[in-house]
């Protein structure tokens, strides 16, 4: 199995993409440790737990460096090191730039950028080699919708973080890559749909699907399979890259040309 006995830390694994990543990693034999601040963590750990797999969790806010460091020390003591880090935890709220207060801006910057920074900084002393996977997005580096300035800024920042860190960690044999998803069906996307149309969020989801060449949103399992590939030795010659997984959503050049 491609992740047999690898110790993998996954942030934000209580739901959504992180849950899918944890599930797929466990399928491939990894020992998975989830860091998440949600109260749903306990229930998620229960449903991920199967005979012959190892999954653990810490209820922690990745903005809290003291707590994050303490988690990493626990992981080091229990498992003897970390092979894979997936910086998946993230937040997205819609607000137009001119209406957005600094609190909303900082919420995005603190979780998506500084949280990723914290977890990486705290995990690195315990990584002798391995793979770091950061959840960026097509939103920011490639495309954007109205109300996404704060979110898009953070997701573009993670591409710079990925490339620069990849250069620094080559010598330690740690690869650093980013995943750039289009729309994946998760609670975050349900939240965006509700913010867009509180009365009929399902219509928003259907609208998103119609704009994607594959006519559907991605699943967390599909996202998890890409994360597993980047985490595994199968991707041993890939570093510093952002890999798009979007059902072709960033592909169309026009809405009108075609025979």
Ligand X SMILES: NC(=O)c1ccc[n+]([C@@H]2O[C@H](COP(=O)([O-])OP(=O)(O)OC[C@H]3O[C@@H](n4cnc5c(N)ncnc54)[C@H](O)[C@@H]3O)[C@@H](O)[C@H]2O)c1
Instruction: Point out which residues bind ligand X (CB under 6 A).
Output: 11-12, 14-18, 36-38, 61-63, 88-92, 111, 115, 135, 137, 181, 183-184, 186-189
Beta carbon nearer to ligand X, 14 or 82: 14
Please pick, among 19, 28, 151, 183, the residue that the annotation labels catalytic.
151
Q: What is the DSSP letter of 57?
A: E
**CB proximity list for 213: less than 8 A, separation 6 or greater:** 247, 248, 249, 251, 252
- Catalytic site includes residue 19: no
- Cβ 203 to ligand X shortest distance, Å: 17
Structure tokens, 214: 């594959």
Beta carbon nearer to ligand X, 62 or 226: 62
Which residues does residue 84 pair with via DSSP β-bridges, in sequence order?
8, 131
- Cβ 56 to ligand X shortest distance, Å: 15
User: Nearest-CA neighbor of 126 among 197, 199, 64, 74?
Assistant: 74
| CB-neighbour burial class of residue 46 (10 A; exposed 0-12, middle 13-18, buried 19+) | exposed
Beta carbon nearer to ligand X, 10 or 127: 10
Beta carbon nearer to ligand X, 149 or 184: 184
Structure tokens, 11: 């942030």
Could you write out the DSSP letters of every residue in 99-128? Answer: G--HHHHHHHIIIIIIIHHHHHHHHGGG-S
Q: Measured between alpha carbons, how far is residue 139 from residues 49, 107, 116, 163, 193 in Å?
A: 33, 17, 17, 17, 16
- Cβ 240 to ligand X shortest distance, Å: 19
- Cβ 110 to ligand X shortest distance, Å: 8
Beta carbon nearer to ligand X, 128 or 215: 215
d(CA 124, CA 138): 26
């Amino acid at each position: 199995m491609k992740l047999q006995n690898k110790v993998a830390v996954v942030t934000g694994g209580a739901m959504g993409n992180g849950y899918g990543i944890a599930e797929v990693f466990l399928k491939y034999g990894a020992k998975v440790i989830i860091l998440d601040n949600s109260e749903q963590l306990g229930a998620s750990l229960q449903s991920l737990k199967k005979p012959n797999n190892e999954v653990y969790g810490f209820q922690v806010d990745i903005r809290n460096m003291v707590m994050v460091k303490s988690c990493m020390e626990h992981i080091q003591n229990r498992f003897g090191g970390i092979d894979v880090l997936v910086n998946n935890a993230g937040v997205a709220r819609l607000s137009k730039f001119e209406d957005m207060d600094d609190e909303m801006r900082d919420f995005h910057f603190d979780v998506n950028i500084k949280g990723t920074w914290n977890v990486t900084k705290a995990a690195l002393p315990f990584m002798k080699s391995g793979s770091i996977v950061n959840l960026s997005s097509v939103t920011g580096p490639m495309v954007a919708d109205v109300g996404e300035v704060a979110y898009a800024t953070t997701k573009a920042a993670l591409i710079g973080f990925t490339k620069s860190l990849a250069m620094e960690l080559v010598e330690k044999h740690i690869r650093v890559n980013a995943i750039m998803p289009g729309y994946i069906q998760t609670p975050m996307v349900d939240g965006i749909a509700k913010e867009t149309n509180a009365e009929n969020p399902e219509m928003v989801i259907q609208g998103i699907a119609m704009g994607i060449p594959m006519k559907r949103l991605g699943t967390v399992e599909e996202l998890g399979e890409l994360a597993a590939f980047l985490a595994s030795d199968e991707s041993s010659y890939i570093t510093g890259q952002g890999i798009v997984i979007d059902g072709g959503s960033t592909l169309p050049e026009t809405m009108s040309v075609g025979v």
